[in-house]
Amino acid sequence: MRISIIGSGNVATHMAAALKNAGHNIVQVYSRDMQNAALLAYHVKADAINDLQNISPETDLFIIAVKDDAIGRVAEQLAVYDKLIVHTSGATDMYALLAFTDRAGVLYPLQTFSKVKEVNFRQVPLCIEGADEAITKQIEELAQSISNNVYRVDSAQRKILHLAAVFACNFPNYLYEVARQLLNNNQLDFNLLRPLILETAEKVQERLPAQVQTGPAVRNDVGTMNNHLQLLTEQPHLQEIYRLLSQGIIKMDFSPPAHK
Name which of 45 and 196 has its Cβ closer to a second copy: 196
Please report how close the Cβ of residue 127 comes to a second copy at its closest, in angstroms: 7
Name which of 25 and 213 has its Cβ closer to a second copy: 213
Please report how close the Cβ of residue 194 comes to a second copy at its closest, in angstroms: 5
Three-class secondary structure assignment of the chain: CEEEEECCCHHHHHHHHHHHHCCCEEEEEECCCHHHHHHHHHHCCCEEECCHHHCCCCCCEEEECCCHHHHHHHHHHHHHHCCEEEECCCCCCCHHHHCCCCCEEEEEECCCCECCECCCHHHCCEEEEECCHHHHHHHHHHHHCCCCCEEECCHHHHHHHHHHHHHHHHHHHHHHHHHHHHHHCCCCCHHHCHHHHHHHHHHHHHCCHHHHCCCCCCCCCHHHHHHHHHHCCCCHHHHHHHHHHHHHHHCCCCCCCCCC
Please report how close the Cβ of residue 25 comes to a second copy at its closest, in angstroms: 28
Name which of 56 and 170 has its Cβ closer to a second copy: 170
Name which of 51 and 234 has its Cβ closer to a second copy: 234
Please report how close the Cβ of residue 101 comes to a second copy at its closest, in angstroms: 24
